[in-house]
Structure 1
Amino acid sequence: MNKIFLICLLVFTGNLWSQSIDDAYRYSRSELNGTARYIGMSGAFGALGGDISAISSNPASSAVFLNSIATISLKSRNTDDNLRYHGSTSYSKSDEIDLGNVGGVFVFQGSSDKKLSKFSLGLNFNTTSNFDNNFVTGGISRQSVDAYFLQKANGIPLDQLQLRDDENIADLYSFLGENFGFDEQQAFLGYQGYVIEANQDDPNNTEYFSLVEDGTFDQQYRYNTTGLNGKLSFNIATQYEDWLYLGLNLNSHFINYDKFTEISELHSNTSNDPNVTSRIDFGNNLRTNGDGFSFQLGAIAKAGDHVRLGYTYQSPTWFNMFEETSQYLETYSSTGEFVSVSPNIINVYPEYNFQTPSTHTGSVAFLFGKNGLISGDLSLTDYGDVQFKPKSDLFFQSLNDAISETMKMAPAFKVGGEYRLKALSFRAGYRYEASPFENEEIRSNLNGYSAGLGYNFGSVNLDIAYETSNYEEQIRPLNSVVLNPVSLDRDLSQFVATLTIGL
């Protein structure tokens, strides 16, 4: 059904925001993406070069190339989710094919009498995170969605939630968003949708009770997200004499994220009281767009003929973010009376700033002549440093405090190896990423394994790789602590093929 939306531009002071700790993690995390050689060694490239995706690990890597190259990768991404919700289990699977990586490096040789014997310029596009996720799960709960609306409503005067003679649903929903904020809009939906009722019919009343009877509820939760976090890197690097490589990345970032959720519940056994609500359908749409900037500094040093050492500093990413939301609530009474509270309003939130944490990475690689190598990276990221801005906003101050208490320093370790047999290369890797949360039930540690093959045809290289990883996490409907979470056990796998051409 086509709908004509009005625009509610939230431009006044107060709690106008809807951001959460989930957003802090979603936009800060990164996944393993890149060329097949990079994936085949689990991304352990901080002390190595010779691969376009190594630039994302250490910008000095491009100066290791002997010749100019161009590369493109295609990726097949597969997710298998085992879901638990209110004691019931379900399964979801998705598959997609997209462009995994594209880029090139131009190498320029210096004069033999100069200490800067070589420099390089590179351009690389890489997906930082893929947001695609889709599942439907359900179960029998003893907790109703009414808890969400009660939490938002208690403390809000009844006068704000009642329609005036010349007002409709869209008018008051828009007015509350413009002048008060998100919580007031949620309370309004619950009150007008007959989920909650005021304790007293008094404009100054600030306490509410539920119109949903106690009992059990057949709940269903629908979750669909799409989008990605992408990074375009402009790289410059140089080789100093024959033992040191130095590099700089200037990174342009973008975020596209769309999320639709719907939580529905049907009371398993209600009375015939027409004032009792027996069914609730509550839908929410979120659209987020952002653009940002970061930089990376890196160095690779030869410590003898067989050892390479690397270090990379990844700056915070400074994002400008734009969000808009829309909602609807539909309810049925025990006698079948239908109520729809659909404001047909798009809430356009004020632009805000978001800052991810910085990352420090130390790397070491051992080379065995032309036969192969072993490489390892150790990265440290303090997710408690995530910041929503402006810091002068009271809601962001509270949210940033909650992030610093909830999230923590999270080390990540990668190790990979490559063995060469003439033109054929065999690769394998392992990676470990610690949970960024103090409570690891929110998101568990991640373990991943990879393997790959490559063949050198001379001026052309063809590489393939397979990688799989597993982690568990909790997804809370409506980002609310008063509702039970969905527990997700995810197996994520990808198959990558890369073509590299010497220029």
Structure 2
Amino acid sequence: MNKRITFLLIALGVSAHGWAQEEADALRYSRLTTGGTARTQAIGGAAGSLGGDITASHVNPAGIGFYKTSEVVITPGFFFKSNSSSYLGNSADEKKSGAMLGNAGIVFGLPVRNSNSKFKNLAFALDYNRLANFNNTFRLDGINRTSSYSDRWVEELNRGNNPVPFSSATIDYPLGASLGLNTYVIDAEFDGSGNATKYVSGVPIGANGIRQQDLIKEKGGQDEFSLALGGNYNDQFYFGASLNFPTIRYERTRTFAEDDESGDNNNNFAYFEHTENLKTDAVGFNAKLGIIYSPVPSLRFGVAYHTPSWYSMRDQSTARVQADLEGFRPPNDPNFTNPIWQDTEELTDGYPIEYEYKLQTPSRAIGSISYIFGTNADVSKQHGFITADVEYVNYAGAKYNFNKGTAGDQDFARRLNQSIEDLYKGALNFRVGGEMKFTVLAVRAGFAYYSSPYQNTVSGADGSMKKFSGGIGYRNKGFFADLTYVHTLASDAYQPYRLSSTAVAPATVDLSGGNVLATVGFKF
């Protein structure tokens, strides 16, 4: 066996859970919020036409063209999340909190020396921005009376009525089914010639059902490094472009456990646990283009286009199954111990399973309008503003490419992309916010609504996300500081596993979380 093993998910049947979650992974890396400085987040992330904030690099780069001086900023923050799930009539709660860096960058304003030129200034920005924070924990807990998590491995190995040969079943599915088979969570039936004729689950589902618990711990983030150039023509037309390099670091540990609820201590099953570890690293690129038109100093219109992001992805996966089979003892196995367990590495010469592939996330289009109170182009004399963005994203446009794989890999990619088209849809996202300025102090408020990306939603989980924000700011003599709080409410559906023969009840997960951000900046 090779010392470095690269498996295709479908060709070698690595993990049915992996297959089922691939669509969700594409959505995770496509459904992004604005992020950026505390000022931008306080106004709901509506940065499409306002300008004068480094966050414009990631929303509408034309906003960089408003800079006539230079500045440096940094935005640390703290987050906390509370998740409440409902599964099979039972509820469970989990919490997560921690520190983060939301934004850091520098802008160089370059005024045009020729006073007769209609080109007033150029500006160049280097910026880091956190697009998504994956740090999270949630849990399901319920009694299932219709199916077992192990049934997915049974379906995988039975392949309809064409069972996988037993010798292959014990090694070729090292993230799931092989571990379940080798620990007797599932078993095989044989004909007189020793050929496997059927695979069956060893988990007994009686009248009391089985208790299922699913604990998911996630960490990491999606970040973007931006190089942006903006310009100002006659204080009316602002234009800009940015070249961006997004990165992904995502880690997930998931433990799904089933416990016997029958009270029978002689049915050869007490519990089993399946733990999966996934680490994803990616680097990509995209471009963003935008213009802002200001017919009068008090009014601004903006449009921006974000190309798709093209990622080179790398997954590293391992898994473990542990089971307590009570009094069960397999024949001809004098070394059997109870509980029994097996790890992926036992089947892969000690190495995790690795796979490299490509992912393209959808493009975006943004339209925006801002009204400046005070009707004066001099920001020191402005009294405030109100601004709004409308964003369109076709989440069904995410696409995988397994270009290093076999013909079977390519076929799986086509079917996976079709599944994404069937599950997701285009959606409109709305952001609105405003600021009132009092000499050196300012107060801000905002709201953002991210529509459901799903073609069909589960009852009790509409798939939308709402953000309520507010903050204060101080600006004086080349120094500024902003403090913002953003509260997020979201409701989503989560499918713990899928079966072709039996409907599996989804769970609903309600998120309530907050971010506290503080931006400190200096003009020079």
Question: TM-score, length-normalised on structure 2?
Answer: 0.86
1:113 maps onto 2:116 in alignment: yes
Q: CA deviation at 1:271?
A: 4.7
State the Cα distance separating 1:219 from its structure 2 match.
Answer: 2.1
What pairs up with 1:323-472 in 2 under 5 angstroms?
323-335=315-327, 337-344=338-345, 345=348, 346-369=351-374, 370-390=382-402, 393-441=410-458, 444-472=463-491
Q: What code does the residue aligned with 2:387 have?
A: S
Change (3 A) 1:12 1:245: closer
Q: State the distance in 2 between where 1:429 and 1:98 align.
A: 21
Deviates further, 296-305 or 211-220? 211-220
Moved more, 9-18 or 352-361: 9-18
Paired residues of 2:257 and 2:271 also in contact (CA < 8 A):
yes
Q: SS of the counterpart of 2:68?
A: coil
Q: Pick which of 276-285 and 15-24 moved more.
A: 15-24
- In 1, the alpha carbon distance for the partners of 2:490 and 2:73 equals 31
Ranges in structure 2 where 5+ consecutive residues have no aligned partner:
329-337, 375-381
- Deviation of 1:145 (Å): 1.8
* Superposition RMSD in Å: 2.4
Match of 1:22, SS state, is: helix
Match of residue 241 from structure 1: 234
Partner of 1:79: 81
Q: Is residue 152 of structure 2 the alignment partner of residue 152 of structure 1?
A: no
1:488 counterpart letter in structure 2: V
Of residues 271, 293, 303, the one that matches 1:279 is 271
Instruction: Identify the residue that residue 179 of structure 1 maps to in structure 2.
Output: none
In the alignment, which residue of structure 2 is the partner of 1:8?
5
C-alpha deviations, 1:97-140, integer Å up to 9, x for none?
Answer: 12111011101111223332211110110011111112344222
Q: 1:302 and 1:379, CA in 2 relative to 1: closer, same or farther beyond 3 A?
A: same
- The one-character-per-residue Cα deviations of 1:429-451 (angstroms, maximum 9, x if unpaired) are 11111011112236611122111
Contact kept, 8 Å, 1:10 with 1:347, in 2: the verdict is: no
What SS does the aligned partner of 1:44 have?
coil
- Map Cα deviations across residues 232-284 of structure 1 (whole Å, 9 max, x no partner): 0000111122210110110011111111111111111165656x433211111
Is the CA contact 1:134–1:223 (under 8 Å) kept in the aligned structure 2?
yes
Give the 3-state SS of the residue equivalent to 2:272 in structure 1.
strand
Q: Distance in 1 between matches of 2:10 and 2:416?
A: 17
Cα 1:206–1:298 change in 2 (3 A) is farther
How does 1:187-202 map onto structure 2 within 5 Å?
187-201=177-191
Distance of aligned partners of 1:457 and 1:498 in 2 relative to their CA distance in 1, 3 Å threshold: same
CA pair 13-454 structure 1, distance change in 2 beyond 3 A: closer
Post-superposition Cα deviations, 1:148-197, rounded to whole Å, max 9, x if no partner, equal 2222121286663338xxxxx9xx63xx2xxxxx5x86332232222223
**Which amino acid in 1 is paired with 2:515?**
Q
Distance 1:161 1:62, change over 3 A: same
Distance 2:353 2:390 in 1: 41
Check conservation: 1:284, 1:325, Cα contact below 8 A.
Answer: yes
Q: Tell me the SS of whatever aligns to 2:82.
A: strand
Instruction: Give the fraction of aligned pairs with identical amino acids, expressed as a percent.
Output: 27
1:46 aligned partner: 48
TM-score (norm 1): 0.90
